[in-house]
Structure 1
Amino acid sequence: MKDQITSTEAIRGAVHSDLRHDSAIKHVTGRAEYCDDIAEPAGTLHAYLGTSDVTHARIRSLDLSAVRAAPGVIGVLTAADIPGANDISPTGRNDEPVFPTDLIEFHGQPLFAVVAESRDAARRAAELAQMEVEDLPHALDPLQAQAAGYPHITDPLKLERGDVATGFAEAPHRITGRLNVGGQDHMYLEGQISFAIPGEDDDVVVHCSTQHPSEAQHMVAHVLGVPSNAVTVNVRRMGGGFGGKESQMNLFACVAALAAKKWDRPVKIRPDRDQDMSATGKRHDFVIDYDVAFDEAGCIQAVEGEFAARCGWSSDLSGPVTDRALFHADNAYFYPHVRLTSRPMKTNTVSNTAFRGFGGPQGVVAAERMIEEIAFALGKDPLEVRKANFYGPEGRDLTPYHQQVTDNILERLVGELEKSADYQARRKAILKFNAQSRFLKRGIALTPVKFGISFTATHYNQAGSLIHVYSDGSIHLNHGGTEMGQGLNTKVAQVVADAFQVDITRIKITRTTTEKVPNTSATAASSGSDLNGMAALDAAEQIKARLVEFAADKWEVDPAAVIFLPNAVKVGNEVMGFDALVKAAYMARVHLSAAGFYKTPDIYWDRAAGRGRPFYYYAYGASCSEVSVDTLTGEYRVERTDILHDVGRSLNPVLDKGQVEGAFIQGMGWLTTEELWWDKQGRLRTHAPSTYKIPLASDAPRIFNVGLAEWSVNPERTIKRSKAVGEPPFMLGISVLEALSMAVASVADYRECPRLDAPATPERVLMAVERLRGDK
C-alpha cells in the first residue's frame, strides 16, 4: 500500500466537506420510511381523538354510548382508563391531563379517544359524542387574559442590569411603543403520528415522530404506571418538526400506548391536518411594550420591556420560551441600563410550545423595532444606528443576563455583507426611486443576529452515543439525536468517519431508540450536532485508544507510531487496512464497542437572580433584503436577499447552507404571510393549508445569495470548531420586515416609524400606508 493516500480530505465524507444528506435520494423518490410506512401487524387498531367544540366550559355530562355502538368501534379511552397519572406536562407542573375530567379549557381540546378497526371508523365515531356543558367566560390573547385577571401560566422572569431610572432621566430622547408579534404553525410535512405495539408483561414499543424520544418514553411510562424500562421509543426519521414534536407528541404516544395495552393489539393514531393544527401548540404570540431612551447619535441609553405571551391553557414549555425571549431581546446591541420582564399569560387557546428559535425570534424582533424607531426619529439610516449600538469592548460587552460577550464578530461580518450586497449604493438608488415613484415603493434593510447556543435548562446540555465496530470493519452508529431532515445523522457520521479515517460508506446510521442511548435530551436548541457529535467522537476515541494499545503491544511499537490513515492504519513501518486491524483486534478479544458521553462545559444559570452564563457561545449572521410594495393594494415581493452567516468551521457546508436558506424562508413566512386567527368564539379558523399561508416557491427572493463566513471558527471544545445552524438563521427573515417598514415609511417621507405588526400581511401593509398618508 505504498500509494496509500494520507490526506484527510480524500476520505469520502470527511468533516468540513460537502456531502449530501444520507436520505436525500430516499426523500425525493419516496423510499424514506416514516412512521406511517411501518408495516402494520395483523390486528392493528386505529385511534382518533374526540375533541371539544366549545372553548371554556365545565363538563356536566359526556355521553359516549353512540360512539361505542358505532360500526367498527372496539372501545373508547377516557381519563377513567388511565392506570397511571393523567398528566403529560413536560415540566412536571401537573397541569396537562391526557383527557380532562371536569373542565374544558380550549376549543379543540381532546376529550377522549375512539379505538376502532379502521381509522375511518374511529374518525366517524368520534363525531357521535353527546355532551352537556356549562359555558364559562374565555380569554383568547394576553391582553384579554390580563383584563380578565387570568394568572401567569408559569413564573415570570426579570432580567435587570444598571439603573434604568437614571438612564431614562439622563437621555435626551425617549420613545415608547407596542409591538404585536403573531404566532406560527409548525406545518411539518409529516403530521403527528404514533404506533404502539404491546409486549409481554408491562412492555410496549412505541414508534413515533418525536424530537424527544426519552420524554415520550417517560410520559408513556408515567401514564401507564410502569417503569421507564418497560417502554421503548423508536424514531427513524421525521418529516419535519421545528419544535412541534418536542413535547406535543406526548399525547399521541400515550394514547397509542394506552390503547395497545388495554386491548393487547397494535394501535396507530394519526390525526387529520385540521385536528393536528387545532389540537397542538404553536409559536407563542407576543404583545411587547417597549420604552427606549437614546442620545443624538442614536446610542441606546436605557431599555425597559414587558413581554406578554399567549401561552395557552397549560404551561407546556412556556416558561423557558418566554425566558428565552428576554435572553434575546438585546439581539446584537448593548443596553447600558435595562429591565426586561416576561408575562407568560394563561389563555383559553391550545397550549403553545417550542418552535424554531424558542422565543428568541420574538425578542430579536423587539430589539430591531427599537432600532428602527430611533432611526426614524433621528432621520438616520437604521444600519448606522445598528452599528452604533453593537456590543463592543470591555464596558460594552455585558448582556442583560450578565454574560460577557467575548466572541463578537458582527462588525466584520456585517461590514463584509454591507460591501458584498452593495448596500449603500442600493439604498441611495431606492431613496431616489421612491421620490419619483407615486405608487410603487421599495425598501432595503440589513439586520444582524446574535444567538446564544445551549439549552437554558442546563441539565439538557448532555448527550450519549453508542458505537459498535464489527469484525469486518463496518461500523454501527447510534446516538440520542433525532433526524428531522436537517442532516444530523449525516454530520455525526462524518465525525465518526473522520475519527476512524474511514469512508462514510462503512458507517450504518441506525434509528434513534431509547433501548440504546438512555436519558437523551430533545433534538432542539440547535444543539443536535454539538452534543451528539461530541458524544459520538468520545465513543470513537475510546475504541481508537483500544486499537492503538492493541497494535502497539502486538507489533511492539510506541503508541505514537500507530497512525490512522484513510481506510488504513500505519503501525510502525507497516501499513494495513482498517478492517484487517479490526479483525486482528477482534481475534485478540479487544472490546470494539463504546458508549460515548458529552456535557457542555462552563455554563450555569441562576434564574432567581437573573444571572449566569447560559450560553456556551454565540452564532452570528446578517441579512440584507430588498422589497417592492404596491401601496395601492399592500401587496409586495422580495426582490433580493443577501445573507452571510456564521457556522464556525462548517461540518458540512452544503447542508448548512440548506439550513440557512430554509430558516430564512420560514422566518420570512412567520413575519409576512403566516397568520393565526381565532374568532370571538375561540375557534382557530386557520386550521388547514387552505386557510393558513406558508411561503411558496414564488415567494422566495428573486435573487437569493447565501454565503457562510468561512473565516469563523468556534472555541476548541466544540465539535470540530463548528457552530450550530438550526435556529440562528431563522431571524435573518427580519430583514424583510424591516425592508417593508422602510418602503411603507416612504409615503410620509420617512418621518415616522410605520410600526408594522407581524405578520405584515398585505392588509396590514395597506392599512399602515393609509394611516401614514392620512398623517401627512
Structure 2
Amino acid sequence: MTANSFRRETLERSIKGGKGQSERHDSAHKHVAGIAEYIDDMPEPAGTLHLYIGLSKVAHGEVTRLDLDPVLAMPGVVGVLTAADVPGLNDISTVHKNDEPLLAERVVQFWGQPLFGVLAQTRGEARKAAQAARIDYAALPHVNDIAAARAAGSALVTADITFLRGDVEGNLAAAKRRVEGSIAIGGQEHFYLESQIAFAFPGEDDEVTVHSSTQHPSEVQHIVAQVLGVPFNAVTIIVRRMGGAFGGKESQANFFAAVAAVAARKFGRPVKVRPDRDDDMTMTGKRHDFVVDYTVGFDDEGRIEAVDAVLAARCGYSADLSSPVMDRALFQADNAYYYPAARLRSEPLKTHTVSNTAFRGFGAPQGMVACERWIEDIAYALGKDPLDIRKLNFYGETERNVTPYHQVVRDNILMRLVEELEDSCAYRRRRAEIIAFNKSSPVLKRGLSLVPVKHGMSFVTTAFNQAGALIHVYTDGSIHLNHGGTEMGQGLYVKIAQILADEFQVDLDLIKITATTTAKVPNTSATAASSGTDLNGMAAADAARQIKERLIAFAMEKYGVARESVAFAANTVLVGEQEFAWADFIKDAYMARVQLSAAGFYKTPDVHWDRSTASGSPFFYYAYGAACAEVVIDTLTGEYKVERVDILHDVGRSINPAIDIGQIEGAFIQAMGWLTTEELWWDERGQLRTHAPSTYKIPLASDVPPVFNVKLADWSVNKSLTIGRSKAVGEPPMMLATSVLEAMSMAVASVADYTLAPNLDAPATPERVLMAVERLKARRKPS
C-alpha cells in the first residue's frame, strides 16, 4: 500500500459518535438504572439544614400578624427566615426590577406567595413546622383571570407592544369578507419530574456555592449575589442535570437558590430546599393563558387581506418574563401565512395569581393557535378544506414574504414539506373517507387536520445570542468539555460532545461531559429558545479549532511540512506521510509546550430587533414542520381519542437523529396535553385547585396515538451558517400539536355539516367538546 493510498484510507475511516450519528443520551443508562445523580441524591454533609417555605393563604391582602413563635417551638427547628434576614436586596425579579420580593414583607399578591422559611434538622420537621405559623390578613380586592382584570381596569404588568405593517383599516374595509371572533387558550403546568430544588454551601468570606436545578446558571448567580449583597464573583452555581424543566427552571429557580443561599449565610451551614409537588405547583409560574380577539378580512378564495388582533394574557402579580413571552406570541401569530396588512397588539394583564413564566415555546404556541383559529374560521365560512386555505396563504419564496415584524423570510420550504406530508399520509383520501363516515355515524365523529409550522430561531433579545465554552485536552488524549448550556433531558450534552468529537476526529468516548458551572464559563445565556445546540455547539467548535490551529502549527514546525499536509482523521493525526495516534501526538505537543486548553466563544450574526419600532430581523433562520392528526369524538359524552399522527419535521442536517426524533415526539405529546387534558383552575378565593397529579391531568402512555409516524426532512439543509447546518428542535415541534385541536374542531363541525365554525377553546376537555357539539346542534339549519 502506498503512502498516499494509506492516507486516503485513513481519511475515509469514521469515528464513533460524530455529527449525524444516532447516539444515545449520555445519561440514558443512568436514568434507567436510577444512578443518575440529581441534587436530592447528593450526600448531605454533617450539619446540613433543611428549609421549607411558608406560603400565603390569601390571593391579595395585607399581613397584619406573622407569629412564628409556634414554629420555633416545633421539634427539630433551628430557626426561621423572613424578609428582615435578607442582607442585600429583597428582590428576585428578572426583566423588571423591584416587583418580585424574595419573601413578602407586608402585602401578599397571590395565594401561595412565600412569606417565611423554616430551618430544621430534617425536611419532615421543617415541613411540619411551616404549618404552625399564626398569620392574619386584611383581605384586599383581587382579580383571578383575564375577564376580571379587564372588567376591573387592571394595569398592565409590563409594557405592551404593537406589530404594525400595511394599511389595516383600508384593507379591512376593502375586503369582500370578514370574520370576527375570540379564542380562549389555557395555561399549562410544567410538571417536571424533579421539582424545584437548591443546595447551598457557605464558603470563606462572602463566598457561596449553590447546586441549582436551573436552565439559567448566570441569572441565578446574579440573583443570589443581589440578595446577599455580594459581587457576582463570590457566587458559584453548579448544574449537572435537571429532571425536566421545559422553561419552568429559567427564572423560577431563582427563588429557591436565593432563599437557600440566604439561609446558608445566616446559619453558616449547608442548606437544602425542595418543596412538595403541591407547593411547587402552587408557588411557581406556568404557561400564560390567553384570550385572543380578532378581525380578519379576506377575499372569496380565502386569501387573507388584513388581520387585526389583540392578544391578552394572564401574567400574574409581577412581570417575570411576560414581556418577551408576549412579544413571542406576536411573532408567531402569522405562523406560516403572509398578511398584506397586520396589526397585532399584546395586552399583558396583571392578576393576583402566581407570575406566569417561560414554557417550551415561550408564547409562540399561543400565537399559532390563535392564527390557526382564523384560518379555520375562513375555511368554514367558505365551505372549503382548511388545508387549502392554509396553502393559499403560505409565505412565498420570492414575494409575499415579509412578516408583520418586517423580517423577510428567505429560507421558505413550507410548500414542499407540507405537500410531501400530504402525499405520504394520504390526507386527501382519508379526509374524503372521514366525511363519508361522519354522514353515516350518528354518535362517533372523526376529524382530520394537517397544520404547518414556521418558527423563528434565536433569542429576540439580541444580547442573549452568545455562548462560551472551555475545552481541555489532557496528555493522554482525553478531552474535558464544559460550556454554558444546561442538560434537562433534551440531549444537549451529548450533541455538544458529538460536535467536539467531529472537530477533533476522535471517538465520542474520549470526551468527558461535565457539569455546567459559572466558575468555568461566565456570563451565559439561558438554555432556552431552542438555542442550546446552536450557541454552545459553535462555542465548543471555536475552542476546538483554536487548539487544532496550535497543533497544526506544532506539526508544521517540528516536521517541516505545509499546512495542508496536516490532517485529523479517525483518532489519528496525519503529518505528511506519517501517521500518529491521537494520544501520542497530544503527548508530543505537550512536551513541546503547546497550549492544550482554549476558551471558545460565539455570537449569532445578522440578528437585530428594535422593540420601540417593532421591526428588525430577530431570527437567524426559520425551522419548519407539519403534522397531520386524526381523532374521533363521542358526541354524547365529549370523550375523544387521537388515533393517528404523521409528522414531517425540518431539523436541517441532524446532529443526532435519534435525539431529534425523541424531541419531536416528546414536544408533540406535551403540547397535545396542553391543548386537550391539562386544565388549570383557580377558585373564587384565588387558590389554585389543580395543584397535584390527582387534579391535573397530563398525558399518559395510553394517550400516545397508536399510529405515530415521525420523520425528519432529511433533504433540508440550513442555509444559515449554523453548526453542521443543523436546525434547532426543542420548541418548534410543540406547535405541531395544534393539528389535534384542529382535527377535533372538524369532528365537532360535522354535526352541523361543516357549515359553522366550531369555536372550540383550549384545552378541549371532554366538557368543552360536548358543549361545542351541543352549541352547533342548536345553531344548525334544519335539514
Match of 1:210 among 205, 211, 214: 214
**Which residue of 2 is the match for residue 162 of structure 1?**
166
CA distance in 2, matches of 1:448, 1:393: 16
Match of 2:566 in 1: 562
Deviation at 1:5, TM superposition (A): 5.2
CA distance in 1: counterparts of 2:8 and 2:619, whole angstroms: 43
Deviation of 1:52 after TM superposition, in Å, equals 0.6
Aligned to 2:758: 754
What is the deviation of 1:546?
Answer: 0.1
CA distance in 2 between counterparts of 1:470 and 1:83 reads: 42
Q: Which residue of 2 aligns with 1:312?
A: 316
Q: Distance in 1 between matches of 2:492 and 2:613?
A: 35
Residue of structure 2 in register with 1:772 after alignment = 776
Residue 226 (1) aligns with residue 238 (2) = no
Corresponding residue number in structure 1 for 2:282: 278
| Residue of structure 1 in register with 2:36 after alignment | 32
CA distance in structure 2 between the partners assigned to 1:27 and 1:243 by the alignment = 21
The answer to whether 1:362 aligns with 2:375 is no
Which of these residues, 165, 173, 177, is aligned with residue 173 of structure 1? 177
CA distance in 2, matches of 1:463, 1:88: 24
Q: 1:9 to 1:55 in 2, by over 3 A?
A: farther
- Aligned pairs for 1:54-203 (under 5 A) are 54-203=58-207
Structure 1 residue 10 displacement after superposition: 2.1
Partner of residue 322 from structure 1, selected from 326, 348, 357 = 326
In structure 1, give the amino acid aligned to 2:759.
R
Give the deviation of 1:8 after TM superposition. 6.2
Deviation at 1:60, TM superposition (A): 1.5
In structure 2, the residue matched to 1:575 is 579
What amino acid is aligned across from residue 535 of structure 2 in structure 1? Answer: L
Deviations 1:551-600 (A, max 9, x none): 11000001111011100011001011111110000000000000000000
Equivalent residues of 1:647, 1:722 under 8 A apart? yes
Q: 2:440 is matched by which residue type in structure 1? A: Q
Query: Does structure 1 residue 336 correspond to structure 2 residue 340?
Result: yes
Q: Please say if residues 677 and 764 of structure 2, whose CA atoms lie closer than 8 Å, have aligned partners that are also in contact.
A: yes
Q: Provide the rounded CA distance (Å) in 2 between the counterparts of 1:187 and 1:476.
A: 33
> In the alignment, what sits opposite 1:301?
305
Residue 585 of structure 1 is matched in structure 2 by: 589
- 1:7-29, Cα deviation, whole Å (9 max, x unpaired): 56721001011111111100111
* Cα distance, 1:58 vs structure 2: 1.1
Aligned equivalents of 1:630, 1:31: Cα separation in 2: 44
What is the SS of the residue equivalent to 2:739?
Answer: helix
Shift of 1:65: 1.0
1:630 to 626, 630, 634: 634
Q: Deviations over 1:656-704 (max 9, x none)?
A: 0000000000010000000000011101000001100000011111100
- CA–CA distance in 1 between the matches of 2:57 and 2:720? 55
Residue identity opposite 2:570 in structure 1 = P
Say whether the 8 Å CA contact 2:566–2:573 is kept in structure 1.
Answer: yes
Report the counterpart of residue 528 of structure 1 in structure 2: 532
Using the TM superposition, name which of 84-93 and 270-279 deviates more. 84-93
Q: What one-letter code is carried by the residue in structure 1 that aligns with 2:619? A: F
TM-score by length of structure 2 reads 0.98
SS of 1:351's equivalent in the other structure is coil
Of 369, 374, 377, 2:378 maps to 374
Alignment check: 8 A CA contact 1:8 1:501 kept: no
Whole-Å separation in 1 of the counterparts to 2:719 and 2:432: 39
Structure 2's unaligned 5+ residue stretches are: none
Q: CA RMSD in A?
A: 1.0
CA offsets 1:97-116 (integer angstroms, 9 cap, x no match): 00111111000111111111
Moved more, 708-717 or 481-490: 708-717
Q: CA deviation at 1:715?
A: 2.6
Q: Identify which range, 127-136 or 158-167, moves more after superposition.
A: 127-136
Q: Distance in 2 between matches of 1:44 and 1:178?
A: 53
Q: Is the 2:470–2:482 contact (alpha carbons within 8 Å) kept by the matching residues of 1?
A: yes
1:6 counterpart SS class? helix
Query: Contact 2:397–2:412 (CA<8 Å) still a contact in 1?
Result: no
Tell me which amino acid in the other structure corresponds to 2:768: R
Displacement after TM superposition at 1:761 (Å): 0.4
Q: TM-score, normalized by length of structure 1?
A: 0.99
Q: Does 1:446 align with 2:450?
A: yes
Residue 611, structure 1, aligned to residue 606, structure 2: no
Q: Percent identity?
A: 65
- Residue 688 (1) aligns with residue 684 (2): no
How much does 1:4 deviate? 8.6
2:470 is equivalent to residue 487 of structure 1: no
Q: What are the Cα deviations for residues 581-636 of structure 1, in whole angstroms up to 9, with x where unaligned?
A: 10000000000000000000000000010100010000000000000111111001
Contiguous gaps of at least 5 residues in structure 1: none
**Quick one: distance in 1 between partners of 2:603 and 2:373?**
36
Measure, in 2, the Cα distance between the counterparts of 1:9 and 1:161.
Answer: 54
**Is the contact made by 2:287 and 2:357 (CA closer than 8 Å) also made in structure 1?**
yes
Which residue of structure 2 aligns with residue 710 of structure 1? 714
Alpha-carbon shift at residue 716 of structure 1 (Å): 4.7
Q: Say how many residue pairs are matched.
A: 776
Mapped partners of 1:457, 1:66: distance in 2: 47
1:264 aligns with 2:268: yes
Instruction: Write the distance in 2 (CA, Å) between the matches of 1:107 and 1:296.
Output: 50
CA distance in 2 between counterparts of 1:193 and 1:323 reads: 30
Q: Give matches, 1:660-675, under 5 Å.
A: 660-675=664-679
Whole-angstrom CA distance in 2 between matches of 1:189 and 1:732: 23
**Segments of 4+ moved more than 6 angstroms:** none
The aligned amino acid for 1:721 is: R
1:260-294 Cα distance to aligned partner (Å, 9 max, x none): 11111100000000000000000000010011010
Give CA-to-partner distance per residue, 1:683-740, whole Å, 9 cap, x none. 1000001100000011111100000000101135201000000000000000000000
Deviation, structure 1 residue 61: 1.8
Cα deviation 1:292-341 (Å, max 9, x = unaligned) = 01001100000000011000000000000001000000000000010000
Residue 416 (structure 1) aligned with residue 420 (structure 2): yes
Deviates more, 1:279-288 or 1:52-61: 52-61
